[in-house]
């Protein structure tokens, strides 16, 4: 009997206990959407279980196929270097396929809007509301470009204006983007939408920078859209791995 690949969700990890709790809640929600799929969680740093620990355990249990999904919104250093490096340490018996990171995706834009509405805004408020899309930040040009494009996609849904901001590594900071939006014609209120998955030090910095905003939305967390996106990325990687195995067998 062929078993589907195990989905291994790899999160960054944090000293803040809210981080791991939020990641686990998101993974549980994704698993509930796909009964029968084995879903595991691991962390690159700070939290347990570690990636190597989970991979060793899976190999010892006789698992053969794994889809490793970086729980990251952009393809920056962690996705390009840290995750591949730790996966290379896996037991040789495992066949591991690294899935694409979560962003960009229309589901992420929908998750941001969900959090804005939960914070008190309504669709009718869009035309007079400026939104700061506040991410953790990166020095990777590809990641910064993806955040900028996500801000443009959010703007196209009808918000008066959308500006990206960053908690670290890049500019502008959240508070500066809030002030810039205040000066824009047509903006009567300003909302900050954290473009981060789980609470932690940088999300707290985003919240502090939102002090002058009218609305502060929650982190993306275990939103239905994120749970569906995890499964979509898993399916894409599993199909690609299956095609490669079929092609190899035909040679």
250 CB-side CA count, 13 A: 6
Distance CA 131, CA 192 (A): 6
Distance CA 35, CA 30 (A): 9
**pTM of the model as a whole:** 0.95
Rg of the chain over all Cα atoms, to the nearest angstrom: 19
Q: What is the pLDDT of residue 242?
A: 84
Q: What is the pLDDT of residue 251?
A: 63
Q: Which H or E run includes 193?
A: strand 189-194
Question: Percentages helix, strand, coil for the chain, rounded to the nearest 5?
Answer: 45, 15, 35
Q: What is the pLDDT of residue 2?
A: 74
Give average pLDDT by consecutive 10-residue segment, the chain, 251 residues. 90 96 98 97 97 98 98 92 96 98 98 98 98 95 95 98 96 98 98 98 97 98 98 97 80 63
- Contact status, residue 206 vs residue 173, Cβ threshold 8 Å: no
DSSP 134: E
- What is the DSSP secondary-structure string of 65-131? EEEEEE--SS-SHIIIIIHHHHHTTS-TT-EEEEPPPS-S-HHHHHHHHHHHHHTT--GGGGGGEEE
Q: What is the pLDDT of residue 245?
A: 77
Q: What is the pLDDT of residue 243?
A: 85
- CB contact set of 248 (below 8 Å; sequence gap of 6+): none
19: three-class secondary structure by DSSP: helix
Distance CA 232, CA 213 (A): 34
Distance CA 54, CA 49 (A): 7
The residue to which tokens 């995750």 are assigned: 83
Surface-to-core class of residue 247, CB atoms within 10 Å of its CB (0-12 exposed, 13-18 middle, 19+ buried) = exposed
């Amino acid at each position: 009997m062929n078993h589907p690949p195990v989905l291994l969700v790899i999160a960054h990890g944090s000293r803040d206990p809210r981080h791991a709790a939020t990641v686990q809640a998101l993974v549980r929600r994704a698993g509930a959407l796909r009964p029968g799929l084995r879903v595991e969680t691991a962390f690159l740093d700070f939290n347990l279980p570690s990636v190597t620990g989970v991979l060793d355990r899976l190999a010892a249990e006789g698992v053969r196929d794994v889809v490793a999904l970086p729980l990251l919104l952009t393809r920056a250093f962690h996705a390009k270097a840290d995750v591949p490096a730790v996966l290379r340490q896996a037991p040789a018996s495992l066949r591991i396929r690294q899935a694409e990171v979560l962003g960009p995706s229309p589901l992420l834009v929908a998750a941001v809007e969900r959090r804005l509405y939960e914070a008190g805004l309504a669709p009718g408020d869009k035309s007079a509301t400026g939104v700061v899309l506040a991410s953790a930040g990166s020095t990777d040009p590809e990641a910064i470009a993806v955040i900028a494009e996500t801000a443009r996609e959010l703007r196209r849904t009808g918000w008066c204006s959308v500006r990206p901001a960053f908690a670290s590594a890049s500019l502008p900071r959240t508070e500066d983007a809030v002030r810039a939006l205040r000066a824009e014609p047509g903006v009567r209120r300003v909302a900050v939408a954290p473009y981060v998955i789980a609470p932690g030090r940088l999300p707290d910095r985003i919240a502090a920078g939102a002090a002058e905003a009218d609305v502060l939305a929650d982190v993306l967390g275990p939103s239905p859209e994120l749970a569906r996106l995890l499964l979509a990325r898993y399916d894409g990687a599993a199909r690609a791995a299956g095609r490669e195995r079929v092609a190899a067998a035909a040679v």
